[in-house]
Amino acid sequence: MKVTVSLIKADVGSLPGHHRVYKDQLELAKKKLHEAKETGLLIDYHVFNAGDDLELLMTHTKGVNNPEIHKLAWDTFTEVTEKVSKALKLYGAGQDLLVEAFSGNVRGMGPGVAEMEFEERKSEPLLVFAADKTEPGAWNLPLFRIFADPFNTAGLTIDPTMHDGFDFVVHDVMEGKEVMVHCPAEMYDLLALIGTVSRYVISRVYRHRDGEIAAAASVTRLSLIAGRYVGKDDPVLIVRAQHGFPAVGEILEAFSFPYLVPGWMRGSHNGPLMPVPLKYSQCTRFDGPPRVVGLGFQLCNGRLIGPVDLFDDPAFDTVRIKAAEIAEYMRRHGPFMPHRLGPEEMEYTTLPAVLEKLKDRFKEA
């Protein structure tokens, strides 16, 4: 059976400030998706939050980029905005809904989308990840480690079905182009691109030997769509696991190092990505540090069996402590780079105004 998994998210308001989705928003979103399940449009759904982002995980048989599914997500976000966020004066009500009317596909309209369609295997373990206070390039490092680094994923060397490697589709967010790069053959080319996380973003990964989809991520950046700052596009990711794909533990292993990502306060600072259980899915210190949640399911004819809250485990306690230590270290830099992002990457800046004010006082040195 061919099943499509769609993970569509938007920040449609939160409390207090940009911290957390409110329970009434989650309830209304669940109600909307439940109705869609009753009509047969969805096979199943799961609603959750990553900090201030409302996450709609849906399964169906309509394929990717389907107008009915995207409209359902759009209508859910707008209804939550009107009936809860605005009614309760939550902060940033509807902030990611950038256009007035839906035109067939939520891509480019504000919400983030990760989708994949595949033939459901005899047993289909599926993991989804959602991060807050960062951007889509945040998945580059873990996706590389999961699908290309044998020091992370033992299966790359010892599982014959993974031994031919994986193909990475890299999206250039500035040009709106993409390129497919094979790993391990073109590993250095891949790394040369994806080290620039603000521009080259892994959007999909396929198993090389048979072209099976292995992972799909959201790639849009709100700042570029809107031409003005409306918040970093907090990213989502879907990964298939086991039996010819990396094991669940190999996928989670990639999050055992709290690497630095751009985002955090005002979308303008580097900070460590902290893997957290859902109960800690709220950014606090300096609107952070940036966080990631992970949920694990088994698919059963499209039904979502689960979830397991994957980072709700003492094995990740030391990662969180390390992330908190790195957060402290970075914070001590205050307004200085590399804590603060470079001028071209900052989502907020007074630099042009400062330069304008001082322009007549700049003298030849």
Q: CB of 143: closest distance to ligand F6R in angstroms?
A: 22
Longest dimension (CA), the chain: 72
Site for Mg ion in 63-122 (CB under 5 A): 92
Q: CB of 51: closest distance to Mg ion in angstroms?
A: 5
Find, among 10, 6, 40, 37, the residue nearest to 117 by Cα: 6
Beta-carbon count within 10 A of 233 CB: 28
Q: Is the separation of the CB atoms in 200 and 192 below 8 Å?
A: no
Q: CB of 11: closest distance to ligand F6R in angstroms?
A: 8
d(CA 362, CA 340): 24
Phi and psi torsions of 37, nearest 5° = -70, -40
Residue 287, contacted partner among Mg ion, ligand F6R, none, CB below 5-8 A by kind: ligand F6R
Give yes or no: 11 in active site. Answer: yes
Q: b or e along 28-43 (b: 16 or more beta carbons within 10 Å of the residue's beta carbon)? A: bbbebbeebbeeebbb
18 versus 46: smaller Cβ distance to ligand F6R: 18
168 versus 264: smaller Cβ distance to Mg ion: 264
258 versus 290: smaller Cβ distance to Mg ion: 290
- Residue number of the CB closest to Mg ion reads 18
21 versus 36: smaller Cβ distance to Mg ion: 21
Q: CB of 75: closest distance to ligand F6R in angstroms?
A: 24
Give yes or no: 229 in active site. Answer: yes
Peptide bond into 67 cis (omega under 30): no
Q: Is the separation of the CB atoms in 318 and 73 below 8 Å?
A: no
**Helices and strands (DSSP H and E) totals, the chain:** 9, 15
234 binds Mg ion (CB under 5 A): yes
Find, among 254, 258, 251, 260, the residue nearest to 295 by Cα: 251
As given in the structure block, the two tokens for residue 293 are: 């949640």
55 binds Mg ion (CB under 5 A): no
91 versus 257: smaller Cβ distance to Mg ion: 91
Residue with tokens 């690497």: 259
Residue 267, contacted partner among ligand F6R, Mg ion, none, CB below 5-8 A by kind: ligand F6R
Q: CB of 312: closest distance to ligand F6R in angstroms?
A: 24
Sign of CA dihedral 95, 348, 52, 39: positive
With H, G, I as helix, E, B as strand and everything else as coil, classify residue 300.
strand
53 binds Mg ion (CB under 5 A): yes
Q: CB of 231: closest distance to ligand F6R in angstroms?
A: 5
As given in the structure block, the two tokens for residue 358 are: 């001082």
Provide the binding-site residues for ligand F6R, judged by CB under 6 A: 17-18, 133, 231-232, 265-267, 287
The footprint of Mg ion on this chain (CB under 5 A) covers a number of residues equal to: 8
Name the catalytic one among 206, 232, 233, 234.
232
Residue 320, contacted partner among Mg ion, ligand F6R, none, CB below 5-8 A by kind: none
Kind of pairing between the strands at 291-300 and 274-275: parallel
167 binds Mg ion (CB under 5 A): no
Give yes or no: 71 in active site. Answer: no
91 versus 259: smaller Cβ distance to ligand F6R: 91
To which H or E segment does residue 352 belong? helix 351-358
Rule CB under 5 A: which residues touch Mg ion?
11, 18, 51-53, 92, 132, 234
Question: Which residues does the annotation mark as catalytic?
Answer: 11, 229, 232
